[in-house]
Structures are given as structure tokens and as C-alpha cells.
Amino acid sequence: MRVAVLVSGRGSNLRAIVHAAREGRCPVTVVAVFSDRAEAPAIAWARAEGLETRVVAPSDFPDRAAWDEALARAVAAHEPDVVVLAGFMRIVGTAMLGRFEGRILNVHPSLLPAFAGRDAPARALAAGVRIAGCTVHVVDAGVDTGPIVAQAAVPVLAGDDATRLHARIQRAEHELLPAVLEAIATGRVRLRPVLQAPPCARCVDDRLLVAP
């Protein structure tokens, strides 16, 4: 399965996907890595690993719509089956959503629909929850509102601050995201025409909850 990955920061989930693919745990090929920031560490890492990279910076375009259209064209040129937003800190627009309808995945550091948007681990702590986690979902026009594909739960421990909790959630993300891609690549989860998964709720492995 051909996968394009969009990043804005360090790219830890990108690395998890690439490592899982190289180890034979995830039958995907990362065909290209895109970023909105030329200085993103993830882009430097991807180049060093020999991956195709492209920076599509919003500042190079007159408005958000023009940037979104340029991004959609750049990603489409690599003919991905699935587009993954892995720490991509921009909301994609109508051009991307139209070009890749139902095929864009995002990983978010909360058990959606709780704590959508920014600073999810800090907001989870402020709310006093005892279980946090991460979600892989299909991207739609809202903010973290698309159909949920899979989730992994992470305990909130005594003495946690947002940094410690987020680090623990990210470790779960690094397992969840490649597992979801493996399930899609092998046909156990289908994104189109509508999100479909096997009837068993625990169908990827014992740690992952997959939407029915």
C-alpha cells in the first residue's frame, strides 16, 4: 500500500511507520513525505533516510485555498492509496479532502471525541481523567471529528504532567498507527466507500480498539 505522510515537527510517527515497514510488520511503502515547514526535523530525517520529500509552505501562496490546492496536487503526483497526517499541524482544506476523500488518516493524542484540538494531554489532566490515549481517525472537514478507526488507552499516572503523559501517549501512537495501516493494507479494515471493520471490536490485536 502506497502511503504519503504529512509532518510538521520531529516526525516520531513517521519514523514508527518507516521502521515497521522495514521490519516487515507493516506492508506499506512511504512514497513521499511532505511538510509545511522547511525546518521540520522530520524532513531532515526523511531525506537522510532516502525518502522523497517536499515542502509546501503556506507562506509561499497568496491564501490558504491556494496552499491547499498546491498541497493536493503535490501529494496526488505520488499516487498514494492513503495519506497520513502524522503530527501535521495544519487543517487540510477542500482540495485535499476532495482529492483524497475517505483516505486521509490523522493520529490524535486523546480518546476522541474527548479533547479534540490542541493541547489534548494537558486538557485531559485538567479534567481529572484517569484514562487517556490516542485515536486514529479519518479526516473530514471538522477538527478531529471524522470517523474513528482505532484507539489505544493509556493510563494517567500519579505525578503526571502534560509532558510525561504526552510522551506515554506517543509511545502508544507508535504502535497504533502502523497497526492500523497494516490492517488497512491487508483488508481487515476498509476506509472506502465507508469505514468498515470486522465485527470483533478487538480485531487488530489485544491492545487496540477498532470502531465497528
Per-residue pLDDT for 200 more than 60? no
> Shortest CA distance to 100 belongs to which of 79, 117, 115, 120?
79
Strands 82-85 and 53-55, bridge-based pairing: unpaired
Catalytic residue among 108, 137, 166, 174: 108
Q: Where in the chain are the domains?
A: 2-210
Per-residue pLDDT for 211 more than 60? no
**Does domain 2-210 bear CATH number 3.40.640.10?**
no
> Shortest CA distance to 108 belongs to which of 98, 99, 121?
121
Per-residue pLDDT for 22 more than 70? yes
| Global confidence as pTM | 0.89
> Is 108 labeled as catalytic in the residue annotation?
yes
Whole-angstrom Cα distance, residue 99 to residue 156? 39
pLDDT value at position 190?
A: 84
How far, in Å, are 39, 68, 150 from residue 165 at the CA level? 26, 32, 19
